[in-house]
Structure 1
């Protein structure tokens, strides 16, 4: 049996239930506020660069990013349904994000622990200068 044709689309006008189901069917759901639907909706609504992967009518992948479309694109979420992993969908979502985000824009991300070894394999370089301030902490 052959794999279904994967179609890629741009835009964040998506059904929140489908997005949440995808996050739950990938490793990303463990690190996102899945029970807070309003927050999940805001995350989706305010992302200005969203690429999705579809197998027929099923959402099987998403790249959710913030971009200035010139200098930098922050890839905040990359999720592929576990039944569709290892088929190049994540790699193509990143490639599509690069194309739409601008030919010279850097792509920056924070790797999930399970995917930390994946990114160097596809061309990303590690930058130890990154810093993170927790969402519930204020600058001192």
Structure 2
């Protein structure tokens, strides 16, 4: 059973386990990554027993804009609805934020990701070879 948490009770071992399960080249300094996670405005985590299996985190200026820096899933937990539960919890926690951006370099380019994010309310607003940007605009 996977549980979702808004607490930042995360250790360096948790970070290593999650990030090393997939693209281990994503980060090479786990201590800095942990500091980045702990200093995020919003951080939602998914746990299977005592194992960190997913995270979504963002930073921004408070009520106007938030920038999702990561949605990371453990390689052993694909297509189990954990990502949707993380994003739904995040969107609930950020209900007062007017604009939420997702800025990525490659992870949200697949047809599945584009359809999923669109279903969750995000619109693709920019894409080129280097970057892809989605926006959830609650002002309209």
Gaps of 5+ in 2: 132-140
- Structure 2: how far apart are the matches of 1:83 and 1:37? 20
Instruction: Give the structure 1 partner of residue 33 of structure 2.
Output: 40
Do residues 120 (structure 1) and 114 (structure 2) align?
yes
TM-score relative to the length of structure 2: 0.75
RMSD after superposition: 2.4
Contact 1:69 1:102 in 2 (8 A): no
- Number of corresponding residues: 125
Gaps of 5+ in 1: 133-140
| CA-CA distance at 1:121 after TM superposition | 0.9
Over 3 Å counting, the alpha-carbon distance change for 1:30 and 1:9 in structure 2 is same
Q: Which has the higher strand share?
A: 2
- Structure 2: how far apart are the matches of 1:61 and 1:70? 25
SS of the residue corresponding to residue 9 of structure 2 reads coil
In the TM superposition, structure 1's runs of 4+ consecutive aligned residues that sit over 3 Å from their partners are 129-132
Do residues 111 (structure 1) and 104 (structure 2) align?
yes
SS of the residue corresponding to residue 83 of structure 1 reads coil
Q: Which structure has the larger Rg?
A: 1
TM-score relative to the length of structure 1: 0.75
SS of the residue corresponding to residue 108 of structure 1 reads strand
Q: Which has the higher helix share?
A: 1
Q: Which moved more, 1:107-116 or 1:45-54?
A: 107-116
